Amino acid sequence: MKKTMTARFNAGKQVLLTMKKYSGKYAHIPVLNTVVQSLEENINHVNVLLTRVDSIPSQTAGNKNMARADLVSIAVKVSNVLKVYAFMEKNQNLSNFIISSESALMNQLRHQELVDYSKNLIAHCEPLTDELLDYGLTAEMMEELIDETAEFEVVSAEPRQLISERKTINEMIEDGIDNMQVLLANQLDPLLELFVDDKEFYLAYKSARIVVDPATRHRSEDEISVDNTNSADG
């Protein structure tokens, strides 16, 4: 989350703590109680989203590399069997399709290309199960190829999915903080003018509304407005 958003959210939480501390001051004002409840629900919602985004793994390269190596290992074995079969049957089209080099599979194909090759390899082998059994292609090898292809397809797509999920939740977090700011500015700030003569409560609220720019440590307009209020009172 951006530092400015974090600063705003922290200020919002401080406002909620202040309102709860002085809840006895406005217990007799239903509309103010409702707004404070809405603020608390908003903050709780953002906290849930923050927990969700923190739980999304940020490093999946290790799992992906391991899954790729496992798929390449079995794909090479199956490809070599199919290569011998194609040679013996003088099937040039099948020979042209086969990639039996471990280096080529591991280093030259992109992730999706490796998935596509493995799926096509399976498609070529399945109708020839009985014939390829004579060349050493067992049911266990085919099962392993199918399983490793499926696993690598999931793992290789995972980073894109995680990036998309993280982006979506971060946008929801920012929307939640924006909604909190609107609630504070358009509802809670005006209602607190009912307590302008209650200096302790009013100034505690205004102080909680201060948002400091984390990049410059400059005071926000909210803090300036507090100073102006104090000057006017003086």
Mean pLDDT of 128-144: 95
| Neighbouring C-beta atoms of residue 164, cutoff 10 Å | 10
Mean residue pLDDT of the chain comes to: 87
pLDDT for 53 equals 84
Beta partners for residue 212, in sequence order: 219
Amino acid at 192: L
Per mean pLDDT, which range of 40-49, 78-87, 168-177, 215-224 is the poorest?
A: 215-224
- Give the whole-angstrom CA distance, residue 62 versus residue 72: 16
CB 163 within 8 A of CB 59: no
pLDDT of 58 reads: 59
Residue 6, pLDDT > 50, answer yes
Instruction: Over range 162-179, report the average pLDDT.
Output: 88
Q: How is residue 177 written in tokens?
A: 């903080």
Domain ranges of the chain: 3-58+166-233, 61-161
Q: By mean pLDDT, which of 91-95, 115-119, 225-229 is the weakest? A: 225-229
Q: What does the alpha-carbon distance between residue 83 and residue 100 come to, in Å, rounded to a whole number?
A: 8
| CA-closest candidate to residue 123, choices 78, 177, 64 | 78
Q: 211: phi > 0 → left, psi -120 to 50 → alpha, else beta; which?
A: beta
Nearest-CA neighbor of 105 among 116, 95, 96? 116
Q: Is the pLDDT of residue 82 over 80?
A: yes
Kindly indicate the confidence band of residue 1, based on its pLDDT and cuts at 50, 70 and 90.
low
What gap in Å lies between CA 153 and CA 8, rounded to an integer?
41
Q: Check residue 229 and give its pLDDT.
A: 43
Note whether 42 and 180 are within 8 A (CB).
Answer: yes
| SS3 at position 212 | strand
Q: Is 219 strand, coil or helix? A: strand
Total-model pTM: 0.55
Q: Is the dihedral of CA 36, 38, 43, 48 positive or negative?
A: positive
Quick one: pLDDT band at residue 227, thresholds 50, 70, 90?
very low
Quick: pLDDT tens for 52-65.
888 876 555 557 88
Assess whether pLDDT exceeds 80 at residue 158.
no
pLDDT value, residue 62: 55
